[in-house]
Amino acid sequence: MENSSSILHSKNAISLKPLWFVMIGLVIIESLLAFLPEGIMTQTLRFRMHEIVSLPAPRVQIMGDSVCAAIRAANVAEAAGLPEGSISNYALPGTSPLFTWFTLRRELAAGRSPKFIVYAPHPATLRSPLVERFFGRFATAGEAAELVPQLPLSDTLFGAACRLSYTLRYREELQTVVTQTNLAFFHTMKGPVVSVQASQVKLAETQIPDPNATLFNKGSLPPRLTAPFSVAPLNLKYIDKFCDLAAEHNIRIAWVSMPTIAALKQGGAGDTSDGRYFALLDGIAARHPNVTVLHRDIDVLPDSYFADQWHLNRYGAMVFSRQLGTWLAPWLEANGLNPSFREGRR
């Protein structure tokens, strides 16, 4: 009996060896990756946040994700008849409404308070709060701890793992490296981040692209874009918190729907036929008197105005920025913008 027990113990010890080797290997990999710089998206988030809390607050600021980051504040200001520098684009690429509330709170805590906010999240970014990205790439330790009680245990654990592990934090980018031998992730690490002040440079006229060109079809689009519109409960909660925080500081918000390609208007993120997107906007405006739905519909622009399935190219950004300026001008005036400011006298 003693002999059989000894054999069993020996077998268990042998079976555990591969597991130990795997764990040691993971520790070594993580230790080596720790010497790499953070990904360009994380670097951009941190750099832009530094600007947001240190630059003088603009009279009007644009907030949202990477899609509205294409909006050129200089072109918007020109179309709205406002002085140069009066509008800034503070959008943070790769984020959700969860990030927007924390961004505004950091900004206000630093003594920077805009008068007006143009909020323009892409409908597809409302689907997920991107909790793991928030933990791994954006949140301070205090902000992460503040969010934990609002999350399921699984989200908390995965978020914590992404904060600690380089491979999990950049799992999507590293998967592309491994499966497609695409080294763009490493090449961009030393690339310059895009300052919020870049939006102050006006886009000039360029050659008009072919408005009839079809560049994208629904079959080639990622599931995140082709799935019907929905909003995550945590995102809705933080949209309400964002609007409430703005109201506490007498900031008025104009909600603007970003344009889309034609392929997304039929059952995709840009489809408003079932009324769910409009119901969301109506509910937010009803709950928050400081919010105006400035542009309600999700317009379709030609495929040739987009750099990819959802991001505007330079020409598309110029066209939409000018259009936004024409929507913005009467709203700002109706909400008490000082006429002398419009004439360039502060």
Report the pLDDT value the prediction gives residue 226, as an integer from 0 to 100.
Answer: 86
The structure's pTM equals 0.87
- pLDDT confidence band for 346 (50 / 70 / 90): very low
Task: Give the range among 163-177, 222-236, 317-331 with minimum mean pLDDT.
Answer: 163-177
> Phi-psi bin for 83: left (phi > 0), alpha (psi -120 to 50), beta?
beta
Q: Compute the radius of gyration of the chain from its Cα atoms.
A: 23
Tell me the two tokens of residue 123: 């409908």
| pLDDT (average), residues 113-127 | 95
Report the pLDDT value the prediction gives residue 306, as an integer from 0 to 100.
Answer: 95
**What is the C-alpha to C-alpha distance for residues 99 and 130, in angstroms, rounded to an integer?**
9
Nearest to 92 by CA among 112, 75, 106, 78: 106
User: CB of 316 within 8 A of CB of 301?
Assistant: yes
**What is the C-alpha to C-alpha distance for residues 273 and 253, in angstroms, rounded to an integer?**
25
Residues 164-205 pLDDT 10s: 888 888 888 778 877 877 777 777 777 788 889 888 889 888
- pLDDT confidence band for 224 (50 / 70 / 90): confident
Report the pLDDT value the prediction gives residue 8, as an integer from 0 to 100.
Answer: 47
- For residues 5 and 239, the model is more confident at 239
Q: What residue ranges do the domains of the chain occupy?
A: 42-129+192-342
Report the pLDDT value the prediction gives residue 188, as an integer from 0 to 100.
Answer: 78
Tracing tokens 């179309």 back to the chain, one arrives at 79
- For residues 23 and 237, the model is more confident at 237
Q: Could you tell me the CA-to-CA distances from 208 to 110, 162, 204 in Å, in that order?
A: 42, 43, 12
**What is the C-alpha to C-alpha distance for residues 65 and 49, in angstroms, rounded to an integer?**
13
- The structural architecture, per CATH, of the domain 42-129+192-342 is 3-Layer(aba) Sandwich (3.40)
User: CB of 232 within 8 A of CB of 134?
Assistant: no
- pLDDT confidence band for 87 (50 / 70 / 90): very high
User: CB of 99 within 8 A of CB of 134?
Assistant: yes
Is the model's pLDDT at 212 over the cut of 70?
Answer: yes
**What is the C-alpha to C-alpha distance for residues 22 and 1, in angstroms, rounded to an integer?**
33
Q: Could you tell me the CA-to-CA distances from 196 to 115, 135, 188, 271, 293 in Å, in that order?
A: 18, 23, 18, 30, 25
- pLDDT confidence band for 267 (50 / 70 / 90): confident
Residues 13-69 pLDDT 10s: 556 567 665 566 556 666 656 667 888 889 999 999 999 999 999 999 999 999 999
- For residues 160 and 187, the model is more confident at 160
User: CB of 87 within 8 A of CB of 77?
Assistant: yes
